[in-house]
């Protein structure tokens, strides 16, 4: 059997689960601060209330043992009876199961017992109190005054509390057989509590595990739940007979059994040790636990009909089994990726739009939101799946959101109204996550958002800016904080919507564009790393789009002479695909122009706002880069190729590559400015190296429409640029050659 350990639930995930299972008042916490002496000199708990929410992280670490009040303004999702008596685990667990199969017995802080019942969803506290009082009466019949009725929770009113479990190595739950359960097995039992035959698997020991597993498999098949079989196997106590599990999966040895209530009751009675096969079973139609008489139900197979397999002699070695693997056969039917906007948005993923303050992120995000709802293409990209959109612009008023969306309509096209656009502005604050020193928790607004997503069928959420939707002890430069924020709270929204979350985020002032020999280049790495804060943010996002403002230097050197419409550099912004996990990112910048739109207002006047439009600057960039590439290719053919051929001849016929650096060294003395004392040799080398890389590595379109790289020479060889990424520095770049058989045959 698994044994728990102190601090077994240190992860945020487990802590949040505990806080959901044991919901309590958030303004008061019952703190247990060791022991003190009473008036008679006896040790009693030193307990008192504090004005704070339960900190389940410190609780599960055993640092601060806490409890709470289960009546939450008229609602409760769990209840408990305090059995203040030292009773054998098998006895009390068996008796508790007969009272109500949904009861799970826990060791109390004093080493006695707490009988917990969980309802999974909030119930009217009056209903819960009525139910737990019924259970309390049954325990009183068994143990009389040892039931501390003052601690039965919840109560109708007043500040009454109970200590929560999992604060020490002793406060663990037990199975109906009386075996202590690990945290993982407790979760299994909790999840499947309304399926008694399945839940009984948690911590189940011999004898009879094979028989029970076969019956459970038949039950799961009948309920269309067979996908949970592996979870059942994991929940059993150290069950290692993988051959038997494979017989169930592959040979379907369970298929002949039609498991009815009779078989369920007999098997559970055998496991728990009940003399009669009469227990209360959850009735899915009425939603209640009802007594079912086995003798009165003649349908279905009995547990006795399922034969136990012969149990082999135990191996001296521990049987661990293998990790489940899935073979790729090459015959699989490959499904297309669920693109929403090709290259930008994918179902169940996060897309980041990053840029400096004032660059136009909010403007672009409103345009994307309008496109997703209306189906209008955006910058030549089609909307592959439309849906309802929620825009949460924390720094814009609702009226400003309306102005931007109206401008998007005037620029992009009509809205047919098939899908809705919802909004929240700065008037409605939204905090989705609250961070403390040790953990992060969903806020009430997060849960309300989940309900809105479901009820309004929202497929896309736009959050701008990302940093605004958290509170508490949060540091955006802390990878643990950022990782929890994105992976545990934002991405699950996209998964549940089967849509996408698009979040705006600020960048540092890092240039994403550079020039080399008057050639404009996109620095995708800088664009990717420009996002402010912890690196885990861009690691978690599947796509990163970056906005780069046009600089005066770029404008003057590349575009000013070509643009005659009176605009200048402040009107232009570059859109860069900085990251995509699923396709090649574009290696060029898409220049967008900020246009002004006059939006009519209800007073007969207008308000101006901005929208983005595509431009011809991309064509100018491509033309200039193409011209520069042609110049570099011509230079390599006329000036560099003879030197390359000479170095290959020196290396010998067997040589198939030479370092690029060796060519650079040979070419430096041939440059016109090589003897100029005002120009450093390193600058000349850098210029030559760029020309060589561009010329020998550049793409050349052939007559048949294909593209080749490198240079074809008259000596019958093709010369190419090659990189060896296992090496570093200049030693990783080479020029290599291959025989051009077509050329050689023509020369012959």
pLDDT for 41 equals 75
Strand partners, 114: 82, 106
Torsions phi, psi of 500, nearest 5? Answer: -145, 150
CB 239 within 8 A of CB 233: yes
Span of 350-354, 500-504, 579-583, 696-700 with lowest mean pLDDT: 696-700
Rounded mean pLDDT, 149-172: 88
pLDDT band for position 586 (cuts 50, 70, 90): low
Same domain, 635 and 656: yes
Residue at a domain's end among 566, 590, 614: 614
Same domain, 451 and 568: yes
Q: Is the pLDDT of residue 290 over 70?
A: no
Q: Give the model confidence (pLDDT) of 653-673 as tens digits.
A: 778 889 999 999 999 999 888
- Coil, helix or strand for 289? strand
Span of 14-23, 62-71, 248-257 with lowest mean pLDDT: 14-23
Distances (CA, A) of 345 to 218, 453, 664: 42, 18, 44
Whether residue 215 is contained in a domain is answered as yes
pLDDT for 678 equals 86
CB atoms within 10 A of CB 546: 30
Q: How far apart are CA 389 and CA 375, in angstroms?
A: 12
Q: Is the dihedral of CA 526, 532, 538, 543 positive or negative?
A: negative
Q: How far apart are CA 517 and CA 628, in angstroms?
A: 8
Rounded mean pLDDT, 527-539: 75
Same domain, 460 and 568: yes
Same domain, 604 and 631: no
Same domain, 623 and 563: no
Q: How far apart are CA 7 and CA 245, in angstroms?
A: 33
Choose between 599 and 537: higher pLDDT.
Answer: 599
Q: Is the pLDDT of residue 456 over 90?
A: yes
Q: Which of 213, 251, 259, 252 is nearest to 232 (CA)?
A: 213
Q: Give the model confidence (pLDDT) of 358-400 as tens digits.
A: 889 999 999 999 999 999 999 989 999 999 999 999 999 999 9
Whether residue 432 is contained in a domain is answered as yes
Residue at a domain's end among 572, 591, 614: 614
**What is the DSSP-derived secondary structure letter of residue 38?**
-
Model confidence, pTM: 0.49
CATH number, domain at 395? 3.40.50.300
pLDDT band for position 299 (cuts 50, 70, 90): very low
Same domain, 262 and 282: yes
Rounded mean pLDDT, 530-559: 84
Same domain, 571 and 672: no
Whether residue 9 is contained in a domain is answered as no
Q: Is the pLDDT of residue 645 over 70?
A: yes
Choose between 333 and 524: higher pLDDT.
Answer: 333
Q: Give the model confidence (pLDDT) of 10-37 as tens digits.
A: 444 467 788 889 999 988 999 887 777 7
Same domain, 532 and 433: yes
Q: Is the pLDDT of residue 317 over 60?
A: no
**What is the DSSP-derived secondary structure letter of residue 673?**
T
Helices (H), 158-235: 183-191, 196-199, 209-222, 229-235
Element (H, E) at 434: strand 433-435
Same domain, 555 and 461: yes
Whether residue 183 is contained in a domain is answered as no
Q: Give the model confidence (pLDDT) of 466-503 as tens digits.
A: 999 999 988 888 888 888 899 999 999 999 999 999 99
pLDDT band for position 293 (cuts 50, 70, 90): very low
Q: Is the dihedral of CA 45, 50, 55, 58 positive or negative?
A: negative
Choose between 188 and 168: higher pLDDT.
Answer: 188
User: What average pLDDT does the chain have?
Assistant: 82
pLDDT for 490 equals 95
Quote the domain boundaries for residue 205.
Answer: 192-311
Q: How far apart are CA 329 and CA 428, in angstroms?
A: 53
Q: How many residues does the chain have?
A: 748
Across 254-268, 407-421, 550-564, 568-582, which has the greatest mean pLDDT?
Answer: 407-421
Q: How far apart are CA 541 and CA 527, in angstroms?
A: 14
- Coil, helix or strand for 235? helix
Rounded mean pLDDT, 256-278: 74
CB 268 within 8 A of CB 200: yes
Element (H, E) at 524: helix 524-529
pLDDT band for position 233 (cuts 50, 70, 90): very high
Choose between 422 and 727: higher pLDDT.
Answer: 422
CB 733 within 8 A of CB 720: no
Whether residue 4 is contained in a domain is answered as no
pLDDT for 624 equals 66
Strand partners, 597: 609
Across 139-143, 254-258, 316-320, 324-328, which has the greatest mean pLDDT?
Answer: 139-143
Whether residue 588 is contained in a domain is answered as yes
pLDDT for 18 equals 87
Rounded mean pLDDT, 435-459: 91
Q: Which of 488, 575, 486 is nearest to 535 (CA)?
A: 486
Whether residue 577 is contained in a domain is answered as yes
pLDDT for 567 equals 86
Choose between 106 and 207: higher pLDDT.
Answer: 106
Element (H, E) at 362: helix 361-374
Q: Which structure tokens are listed for 207?
A: 């004898």
Look-up of token digits 């708990």: 45
Tell me the CA end-to-end span of the chain in Å, nearest whole number: 81
pLDDT band for position 580 (cuts 50, 70, 90): confident
Q: How far apart are CA 270 and CA 398, in angstroms?
A: 64
Choose between 151 and 558: higher pLDDT.
Answer: 151
pLDDT for 523 equals 60
pLDDT for 139 equals 94
Whether residue 203 is contained in a domain is answered as yes
Residue at a domain's end among 269, 292, 311: 311
Same domain, 565 and 670: no
CB 659 within 8 A of CB 733: yes
pLDDT band for position 201 (cuts 50, 70, 90): very high
pLDDT for 374 equals 97
Distances (CA, A) of 260 to 197, 219, 515: 11, 8, 75
Number of domains in the chain: 3
Same domain, 502 and 594: yes
Same domain, 590 and 733: no
């Amino acid at each position: 059997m698994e044994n728990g350990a102190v601090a077994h639930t240190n992860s945020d995930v487990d802590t949040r689960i505990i806080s959901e299972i044991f919901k309590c008042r958030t303004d008061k916490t019952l703190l247990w601060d060791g022991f003190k002496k009473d008036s008679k000199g006896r040790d009693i708990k030193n307990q008192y209330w504090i004005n704070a929410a339960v900190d389940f992280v410190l609780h599960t670490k055993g640092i601060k043992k806490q409890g709470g009040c289960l009546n939450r303004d008229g609602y409760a999702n769990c209840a408990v009876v305090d059995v203040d008596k030292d009773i054998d685990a098998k006895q009390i667990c068996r008796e508790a199961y007969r009272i109500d199969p949904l009861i799970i017995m826990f060791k109390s802080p004093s080493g006695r017992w707490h009988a917990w019942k969980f309802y999974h969803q909030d119930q009217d506290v009056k209903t819960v109190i009525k139910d737990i009082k019924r259970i309390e009466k049954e325990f009183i019949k068994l143990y009389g005054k040892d039931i501390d009725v003052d601690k039965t929770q919840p109560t109708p009113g007043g500040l009454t509390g109970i200590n929560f479990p999992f604060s020490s190595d002793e406060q663990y739950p037990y199975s109906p057989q009386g075996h202590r359960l690990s945290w993982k097995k407790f979760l299994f039992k909790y999840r499947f509590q309304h399926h008694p035959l399945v839940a009984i698997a948690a911590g189940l020991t011999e004898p009879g595990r094979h028989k029970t597993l076969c019956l459970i498999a038949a039950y799961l098949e009948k309920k269309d739940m067979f996908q949970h079989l592996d979870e059942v196997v994991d929940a059993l106590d150290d069950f290692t007979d993988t051959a038997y599990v494979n017989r169930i999966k592959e040979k379907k040895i369970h298929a002949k059994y039609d498991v009815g209530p009779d078989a369920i009751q007999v098997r559970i009675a055998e496991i728990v040790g009940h003399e009669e096969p009469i227990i209360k079973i959850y009735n899915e139609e009425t939603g209640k636990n009802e007594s079912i008489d086995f003798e009165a139900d003649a349908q279905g197979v009995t547990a006795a009909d399922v034969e136990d397999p012969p149990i082999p002699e135990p191996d001296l070695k521990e049987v661990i089994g293998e990790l489940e693997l899935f073979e790729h056969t090459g015959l699989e039917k490959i499904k297309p990726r669920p693109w929403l906007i090709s290259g930008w948005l994918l179902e169940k993923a996060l897309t980041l739009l990053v840029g400096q303050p004032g660059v136009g992120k909010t403007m672009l995000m409103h345009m994307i939101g309008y496109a997703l709802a209306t189906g209008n293409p955006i910058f030549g990209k089609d909307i592959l799946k439309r849906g309802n959109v929620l825009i949460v612009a924390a720094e814009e008023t609702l009226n400003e959101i309306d102005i931007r969306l109206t401008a998007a309509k005037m620029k992009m096209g009509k809205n047919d109204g098939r899908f809705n656009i919802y909004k929240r502005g700065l008037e409605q604050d939204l905090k989705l996550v609250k961070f403390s020193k040790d953990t992060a928790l969903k806020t009430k607004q997060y849960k309300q958002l989940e309900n809105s997503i479901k009820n309004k069928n929202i497929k896309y959420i736009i959050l701008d800016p990302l940093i605004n939707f958290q509170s508490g002890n949060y540091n955006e430069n802390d990878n643990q904080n950022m990782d929890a924020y994105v992976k545990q709270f934002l991405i699950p929204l996209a998964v549940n919507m089967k849509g996408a979350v698009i979040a705006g985020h600020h960048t540092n002032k890092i240039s994403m564009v550079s020039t080399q020999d008057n050639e404009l280049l996109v620095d995708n790495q800088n664009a990717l790393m420009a996002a402010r804060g912890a690196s885990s943010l861009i690691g978690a996002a599947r796509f990163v789009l970056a906005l780069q403002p046009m600089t005066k230097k770029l404008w003057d050197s590349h575009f000013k002479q070509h643009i005659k419409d009176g605009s200048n550099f402040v009107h232009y912004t570059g859109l860069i695909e900085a990251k995509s996990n699923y396709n090649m990112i574009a290696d060029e910048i898409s220049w967008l122009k900020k246009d002004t739109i006059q939006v009519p207002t209800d007073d007969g006047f207008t308000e101006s706002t901005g929208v983005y439009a595509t431009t011809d600057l991309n064509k100018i960039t491509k033309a200039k880069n193409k011209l520069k590439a042609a110049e570099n290719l011509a230079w390599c053919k006329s000036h560099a190729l003879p030197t390359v051929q000479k170095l290959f001849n020196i290396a010998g016929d067997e040589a198939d590559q030479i370092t690029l650096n060796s060519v650079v060294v040979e070419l430096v003395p041939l440059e016109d400015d090589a003897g100029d004392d005002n120009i450093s040799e390193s600058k000349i080398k850098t210029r030559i190296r760029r020309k060589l890389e561009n010329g020998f590595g550049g793409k050349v379109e052939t007559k048949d429409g294909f593209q080749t790289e490198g240079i074809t020479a008259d000596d019958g060889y093709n010369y190419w640029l090659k990189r060896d990424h296992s090496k570093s520095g200049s030693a990783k770049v080479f020029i290599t050659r291959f025989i051009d058989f077509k050329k050689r045959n023509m020369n012959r």
